[in-house]
Amino acid sequence: MRRALPFACKIAATGSYLPARIVPNRDLEAFLDTSDAWIRERTGIGARHVAADDEVTSDLAAQAARRALERAGIDVGGVDMIIVATVTPDGPMPACAVRVQHKLGATTIPAFDVSAACAGFLFGVTIADQFICSGAMQRVLVVGVELLSRIIDWSDRTTAVLFGDGAGAVVLERAPADSEQRIELCRIHSEGALADALSIPAGGSAEPVTERALHMRRNKVQMVGQEVFRAAVRGIADVGAEVVADAGLTMADIDRFVPHQANVRILSAVAERWGVPLDRFVLVLEETGNTSSASIPIALDRGLRDGRIASGERVLMCALGAGVSYGAVLARV
Ligand code: COA
């Protein structure tokens, strides 16, 4: 169980945004040696949203954030800090979060990015939870956002079919220490030994962008798919079980599972390990593809809006992504 802290932290509101343009699998058949049947069978993905040419990552994030703020019934003046989880910021510097802060109309509140790929949103929530439960802050906006269509190699069928663009946001808020509605437990881990299984090799200090790097597309996502698949099943299953056990619960006590959504076969394997039916998972993957750090807040928002998640239910959110970094957050919503 967690140590006693002066306050609890609760999810006050959620919001999400998907770009208008939808690219179904069939559209990829026109320029890739792939098929709708293969993509659906091997991943569970049917389509993905792709940002317009004039949209940037902070635009997607600001849209999702505005919806969350509106549902929380506050304007940005009521927020003490902004955390943006992303691996696709508007540019390498400054943080995407400061662009979001400015677009939302905030002026001096701290705003920074978290880079933990598909687990980034849960890393952001874990950080925010500490600031709120300690009493240091009252409200923190956490956004998971990705514009992955700009960093994938559209000629590589092993990655191009998997990813999509989107954003999800939560307003986290201080609550009394004995509040039922609260984040009950957070856990995060990283294993740098697996760093090369999913990476963008060029564009940093190890491999600056050169003409050769561009030609080799080393500034685009590269993935050893099966290694990531195995790590995801193990990491998500283990960290989810760890959090549930540490909370003194069993999987039977969890009402809904809101996992990171990369591949439905990963989630089926996780569900089997946990001994829970897949129909307790809130899935948006078929419609969105893998939106990395945005996938959990998008699914959470969708689930709360369409009734798949009811108020008061206990929700387990789990993710693994590049790093590899992984984590789980248990919450009563
Ligand atoms: N369309 C058609 N065929 C494809 C294809 C595509 N888009 N992508 C790969 N193939 C082919 C391969 O070339 C291979 O052909 P071969 O047997 O002739 O060599 C065959 O399909 C099987 O490839 P394999 O890599 O074994 O498929 P898989 O079942 O492992 O599925 C992934 C590939 C990428 C879908 C899967 O490994 C995966 O989901 N990995 C994790 C991805 C992930 O979660 N990434 C983000 C982490 S958050």
Q: Is 260 a catalytic residue?
A: yes
Q: Is 118 a catalytic residue?
A: yes
Cα 200 from chain centroid?
A: 18
Strand runs labelled E in 101-259: 111-114, 139-147, 165-176, 182-190, 198-199, 222-223, 256-259
Atom of ligand 1 lying closest to residue 262 CA? 44
Q: Which of 9, 49, 260, 263 is catalytic?
A: 260
Q: Is 9 a catalytic residue?
A: no
Domains annotated on the chain, with CATH: 7-176 (3.40.47.10), 183-332 (3.40.47.10)
**DSSP H helical segments within 189-246, as ranges?**
211-215, 225-246
Residue with tokens 């919450």: 331
Task: Give the three-state DSSP class for 178.
Answer: coil
Q: What is the pLDDT of residues 286-296, one digit of tens each?
A: 999 999 999 99
Atom of ligand 1 lying closest to residue 159 CA? 34
- The secondary structure of residue 2, as a DSSP letter, is P
Q: What is the pLDDT of residues 192-236, one digit of tens each?
A: 999 999 999 999 999 999 999 999 999 999 999 999 999 999 999
Cα 23 from chain centroid?
A: 20
How many angstroms separate the alpha carbon of residue 207 from the centre of ligand 1?
Answer: 27
Q: What is the pLDDT of residues 32-71, one digit of tens each?
A: 999 999 999 999 999 999 999 999 999 999 999 999 999 9
Cβ(170)–Cβ(125) below 8 Å = yes
Q: What is the pLDDT of residues 275-326, one digit of tens each?
A: 999 999 999 999 999 999 999 999 999 999 999 999 999 999 999 999 999 9
pLDDT of residue 232: 97
Cβ(241)–Cβ(329) below 8 Å = no
d(CA 327, CA 45): 23
- Name every protein residue with a CB atom under 6 angstroms from any ligand 1 atom: 34, 38-39, 42-43, 118, 157-158, 161, 198, 223, 225-226, 228-229, 232, 262-263, 290, 321
Strand runs labelled E in the chain: 7-17, 21-24, 47-50, 81-85, 111-114, 139-147, 165-176, 182-190, 198-199, 222-223, 256-259, 314-321, 325-332
Q: What is the distance in angstroms between the CA of the first residue and the CA of the last residue of the chain?
A: 19
How many angstroms separate the alpha carbon of residue 225 from the centre of ligand 1?
Answer: 6
